[in-house]
Structure 1
Amino acid sequence: MKKLVTQAGIFGPYREIEVLDDRYRCDGVDFPFTVVGEGVIEEAQSGDFPLPEALQPEVPQSVTMRQARLALLNIGKLNDVDAALASIPDETLRKAAQIEWEYALEVQRNHVLVQQIASSLGLGNQTLDNLFIEAGKL
């Protein structure tokens, strides 16, 4: 296997690299000098081309209440939500939060109540994102 090293970067691995008058032809694909610049052809080593990072799954902006509760159950935090709601000192806000928790059809990732509950449960932003990703699969 070969690689093409130019001013624009490292390209490859390729089985065959041809040098033409104004371009490189790498396994049948043309790379004009005007785009990649002039370079050198080298033998490619197995570690020269790291595997691409896995695509990060998109964080759902909302999940159903069923999905949210199952995800919380899976991480052992479902029962802690009631305690977090009960700890809200203002009675009106506490009752409003309990109504949201009991009767909402979906849970919005950026809702202020979600942020408060996550904080009470010790869930950071990344953990909360992961929780929503997992909930979206349920």
Structure 2
Amino acid sequence: MVGDTDDDIAVRRRGTSGHRACGHTADVRIEAWGADRESCLLEAVRGLVECFADVSGARSAGVTRVRLPDEGDEELLAALLDEVVYRLEVRGEVPLDVAARAVDGELEVRFTMAALDGVEITGAAPKAVAWHELRIRPDAYGWSCAVTVDV
């Protein structure tokens, strides 16, 4: 849904997941939603990746698992997106797919990764997650979040 305008966004329904991104001069604003917190977080990752890469033709280079402490919803959203930025900058990896579940006070995340040189780059790479106006919370349809990412 990247590039959609408010006029052509489909009506959100309970139990659905999705995301969209709105570009600014030096950053990107990602909005995501899902039936539960975990699906909302995963959509935020997908939205982040779509802002700079087309992974549709990429091949998996392996699976990576990480555990993030659940120290609050906003902290978890920032930590998850920071993990994607870290893997991109330091390891040259991009998530093809992501799955997550809450386990013992942590978020267990499973990334299927591709090598950066194996994906089509379509935009500026993310550099940092901004805390300004970062939000994630339950709403009438499930969960929603919004975050600004510096590019």
TM-score tier by shorter-chain length is under 0.3
TM superposition score normalised by structure 1 = 0.23
Larger radius of gyration: 1
TM superposition score normalised by structure 2 = 0.22
More strand by share: 2
